[in-house]
Amino acid sequence: MDKNQKVVFLIRHGNTEYNEKKLFRGRLNIPLNSTGIEQAEKTGKFLKGIKFDLIYSSPLRRAYETAEIIKKYQSNDMEVLKEEGFTDVSFGEWEGKSYDEIQSRYPEFFRQWMEEPYRLVIPGGETLYDAQDRSWETLKKIISEESGQAIAIVTHRMITKLLISKILDINESGIWKINQDACCINIFDYMYETFFVSKLNYNFHIVDIKESFFRID
C-alpha cells in the first residue's frame, strides 16, 4: 500500500436493549446486550486478519465496548482512542422514547424527521447538519494527521449514515435509503485526497445473506 493511501473501516456498534425496543438512543450511555456482545465478537473474529494501526470509538459505552472486543482479536497491542466527534446525534427530549411515542407526542416534528431530517431542530438536541459537520471534520483530521494506514472507527447508525452521505454526496432526502445494520462494516479507500467506497453495510459475518434484506432498525 502506498504510504499516502489509507483504508478506513467504519463500523456500527452492536445491539442494545434500546435498539431492540426501537427507542431513540442518542447520548444515553447504554451497554451492549447479549446479542450485541455476540455481534461484536463475530466482528472481531472476522477482522482479526486486518492489522489495524488505529482504532477510534465514540466514547459512548455501546460503541466503546464494541471497539474493545474488536481490539481483543488484534495481534498488535493498542489503545482504543475515544473521539467525541464520533458521538451519536443528540436527540434531546426524544432520547429514551419510542418511535411511536414521538410520532404521537410530536407529530409535526416527526413528520419533519421523516421528510426533512436535516432541517429538524429536536427540542434539546442537535441538527443532523451539526452532527455531520463534527463527525466529518473529525474524520478529515484523523486522515490528515495520523500516519496509520488501516484505521477502524466504531460509531453509531446515524453517524455512519451521515458520513456515508457526505462521502458519496448523497442529498438530504437520501439518508433514509442507507441501511446500517448492527456491527456492519463499511470500507473506504483514501487516496488522491479522495474517498473511494469498497464496501457498504457488509454484515454477512453476522447474518445469513437471506436474513439481511428488509431489516430496518
Query: What confidence score (pLDDT) does residue 3 get?
Result: 60
Cβ(183)–Cβ(38) under 8 Å? Answer: no
Domains in the chain and their CATH numbers? 6-90+126-211 (3.40.50.1240)
**What is residue 46's predicted lDDT score, i.e. its pLDDT?**
98
Per-residue model confidence (pLDDT) at position 216: 47
Give the angle 201-7-39 at the CA atoms, nearest 5°.
Answer: 40
pLDDT number for residue 214: 57
Provide the residue-wise pLDDT of the chain in tens; the chain has 217 residues.
556 799 999 999 999 999 999 999 999 999 999 999 999 999 999 999 999 999 999 999 999 999 999 999 999 889 999 999 999 999 999 999 999 999 999 999 999 999 999 999 999 999 999 999 999 999 999 999 998 899 999 999 999 999 999 999 999 989 999 999 999 999 999 999 999 999 999 999 998 776 666 554 5
